[in-house]
Structure 1
């Protein structure tokens, strides 16, 4: 871990492009009991009893099966709401307090666990389950209606829930404010440009629990490297970032669980911060 410590020390001494950015994915929530999508034990690989992501996780499928998609979405919502932030979430919340405005968190997760752990400076690039928006032309993002709660997998929508899930302006279905597999990143929902600006000013980008299977996370990593930042891949398996980082001088690959490596990173940051005072 000497190389990691040296990188942290170097970035803490920089006056520009000195942000500490953490890019997180489903792997960081696995210890909270939420299945990953693309890990070796994820629902992308195994599916569920009733659905696979490539079936329900598209805008096209939603336009044809709104009630079914909402039924499954509310099943996932119930699972997420019953989960609790784990050790890794709490360490990232601590690091935000330690680093203040030098800390940024970009997450692919829609589970709200980072926010519940105490993080505030969060960019949710895949959206979240706290909000909905019109599925057609209105596109206004609003909090999910109060009467819409999590459900069991076979529990159907009530009539009052169906009514609450219709846009008050145009009458079309509301949809979860999340990124589906057949959609593109934008700034309004996905903070595309904001996250790339953060990457440009990052002295270190830590990649935690994500395989980089979608294009914006990879673009964030490329941007950090392009502008002279370090990229540290903290995952238990090789992934799409592995090829990108291979033979790069300003890259480091660490094959450890986030619960094991994040405490070390926190300790190294605290130790090196004391040196700069």
Structure 2
């Protein structure tokens, strides 16, 4: 079932566009909502992956994942069929990539693991994937990383739970599982960027996942303008100068009119 969004208020779009046009050091925070129009469902929404199949969430819990090969076998099958492999960046991603080319986008911080910001043309050094990336695998033993598709080819060839070819330990996607810590250096970088921004643009996130959601009050307390673009209200709307509710792939290009 397709997600329905409210019709964006034209005046809110105009005000948001003016703030973006006037800003010179923009930091963007994105969540699952920016990728839904690329065909990637969110996790906890009405049609979310974990809503439709609560057992799937356990596959992203590190203790559960390490507990037995049958769990990992299910996880590898799920990875092969993930909708991200069939997804392309949508106009929302493209709008941010165009903003990046103006030189005014200091950093894009994303909670997404799909890699579509880089696919859209944002340079990797301007993107922080705080929850990691599904496009790589990491060994829990030696820590080596390698392309996800290389390991998925091994699964397709018959290895149900492929081990690390270097040390023989367990492989997982290079995402942050429940029970794993976020990368401290990444958090330091994103919070510093939020403190130095003159505008923080929050896109497609419920702003309920911490500590990353703290970027909004950090930016606001340091004098930045706050623009929130989402399909539904968030708990931090009262901190925003402008809130735009609507389809992100429709309204974001109008807000970012480079």
Which TM-score bucket, shorter chain as reference? 0.7 to 0.9
Note the alpha carbon deviations across 1:234-260, whole angstroms, 9 max, x for none: 111123xx2x342x4x53221121122
CA deviation digits over 1:47-95, x for unaligned, max 9?
Answer: 27xx331x22111111113453354345335421111111111111111
Paired residues of 2:69 and 2:161 also in contact (CA < 8 A): no
- Tell me the CA shift for residue 158 of structure 1: 2.4
Write the distance in 2 (CA, Å) between the matches of 1:6 and 1:141.
45
RMSD: 2.6
Q: State how 1:143-182 maps to structure 2 within 5 Å.
A: 143-144=146-147, 147-149=150-152, 158-159=158-159, 162-163=161-162, 165-166=163-164, 168-169=166-167, 171-182=168-179
> Where does residue 40 of structure 1 map in the other structure?
46
Separation in 2, partners of 1:179, 1:67: 20
Matched, 1:217 2:222: no
Q: Pick the aligned partner of 2:110 from 103, 107, 110.
A: 107
Distance 2:233 2:104 in 1: 31
Q: Which moved more, 1:78-87 or 1:39-48?
A: 39-48
Partner of 2:95: 91
* Alignment match, 2:19: 7
Residue 156 of structure 1 deviates from its aligned partner by 7.4
The residue that corresponds to 1:116 in the other structure is: 119
TM-superposed deviation, 1:216: 2.4
Contact 2:23 2:199 in 1 (8 A): yes
* Counterpart position of 1:15: none
TM-score after normalising by structure 1: 0.77
CA spacing shift, 1:245–1:52, aligned 2, 3 Å: same
Q: How many residues align?
A: 243
Task: Determine the C-alpha separation between the residues in 2 that align with 1:69 and 1:94.
Answer: 39
1:132 corresponds in structure 2 to 137
Deviates more, 1:220-229 or 1:73-82: 73-82
Check whether the contact 2:200–2:225 (CA below 8 A) recurs between aligned residues.
Answer: yes
Secondary structure in 2 matching 1:34: coil
Find the aligned partners of 2:148 and 2:252 in 1 and give their Cα distance. Answer: 36
Q: Is 1:228 the counterpart of 2:234 in the alignment?
A: no
Gaps of 5+ in 1: 13-18, 271-277
